[in-house]
Amino acid sequence: MSADSASLQDASAMGDDLHALLDKQRQAYAAHPFPPFAQRQQWLKSLRRLLSDEREVLIDAISQDFSHRSPDETLFAELMPSLHCIDDTLKHLKRWMKPSSRRVSMMFQPASAKVVYQPLGVVGIIVPWNYPLYLAIGPLVGALAAGNRVMLKLSEFTPATGRLLKDLLERIFPEDMVAVVLGEADVAVEFSGLAFDHLLFTGSTHVGRQVMKAASANLTPITLELGGKSPAIVSSDVPLKDAAQRIAWGKSLNAGQTCIAPDYVLVPQTRIEAFVEAYRQAIHSFYPTLIDNPDYSAIINQRQVARLEQLKTDATLKGARLISLYEQGQGRRMPHSLLLNVTDDMQVMQDEIFGPLLPIVAYSDLDQALAYINARPRPLALYYFGYDKREQDRVIQLTHSGGVCINETLLHVAIDGLPFGGVGQSGMGHYHGHEGFLTFSNAKGVLSKQRWNGSQMIYPPYGRQLVRLIQKLFVR
């Protein structure tokens, strides 16, 4: 048998296995189509207990996949928000599940109306490599809270985390309830083409287009959590130490491998050199050295390192001024760098950076900064640094982005009461908290009547006097 024939057979078997798994979950859902609150509560409590008990092995697995990932970053950026989102969901779930009463006008009385929040069925979740725990658990919690069965596809770039999460979830959930799918990119392609009742994908805009195309064959509803170039604006009068420190934290967490990390900074022309120095001091206060520093995370793999180096090379060849904040890194712990004098033809200003490389763009006034942002694809996040309330309102009202932080970075993603999602090329749909419950539910409108039928007053024949009176009263 040729290698090509063997590969085709493997792909066919893989597809059969995925379809069989989907069928198994569909059958299980059909047998229990509306799990009660107590059942959903038990699922979430079991998941919380598992994550809490196994935190150390989860931290170790993620660090193994990155070659080194700061244990504290994993604790703060993955475990803590995962546990908090479960707690928030448990606190509010009973209220979310209650049917929502709606008004019925006099024309349709006597009757009552309500919205019933029904599980969709089987939900697919495609998890990226940069936060392999939180970006699996967050949507999983929303899907389970809504009463669904779930299939998770873990990234091939985090194999240790994927294997561990598969083993752990199998301890508390049968395969027809929650299933973890592992494998390379071809498995993800097959996965995105399954006839889920909803599919959530987190990843790049480029891959998101492919996932959406695959899902469209089945008319599968889809939530896309993408990325893009999230800008930060430094105002003309904000203390530079304040802005630089908060931007530096948002950019250096996980070595910049965060979908909502500041991708570039707009700084007043007259403040650029001072901002560079304030930023240098902020980064060095976090990481005095990269050598043997347990707090600084590595780039996920050598392929991503090469991509980031190419962005720097392309920019410098086209005239950018590169400022490296360290003399050397260690292994894949890549030194943080700034880029000045950037232009639109540079790849670094076209692609999402996803690493410790920060371009600085000069502007003259706020109108110019807002025009610069609005001339580009709508980002997943936008950050503004300045204490003038009127300017803050202008930024919020005159720009489009999935979310906004004023005088902060990243932390809006951890606020369970806020919806999280993109707009335009940075994604579609929302999850987290109540919005996650709604995303994974069918909001079914229900109109109820009993014995007396008031609608008969408008039945044909239409020439009757009562019909004319109703028309006179209600059609104005």
- Report the catalytic residues: 225, 259
Task: Please tell me the total number of residues recorded for the chain in this structure.
Answer: 476
Round to whole Å and give the CA distance between 466 and 287.
81
Rounded to an integer, what distance in angstroms lies between the CA atom of residue 244 and that of residue 71? Answer: 24
Q: What SS3 class is residue 198?
A: strand
Amino acid of residue 133: L
Can you tell me whether residue 386 is helix, strand or coil?
coil
351: alpha, beta or left? (left if phi > 0; alpha if psi -120 to 50):
beta
H/E run at residue 9: helix 3-31
DSSP code of residue 253: G
Backbone angles phi, psi at 258, to 5 degrees: -135, 130
Strands 122-126 and 198-202 turn out to be parallel
Hey, is 114 helix, strand or coil? strand
DSSP reduced 3-state for 185: helix
The token duo for 89 is 């969901």
H-type helices in 119-158, by residue range? Answer: 134-145
The CA-atom distances, in angstroms, between 246 and each of 62, 239, 278, 322, 402 are 25, 12, 11, 21, 20
CA dist., res. 261 & res. 250, Å (int): 6
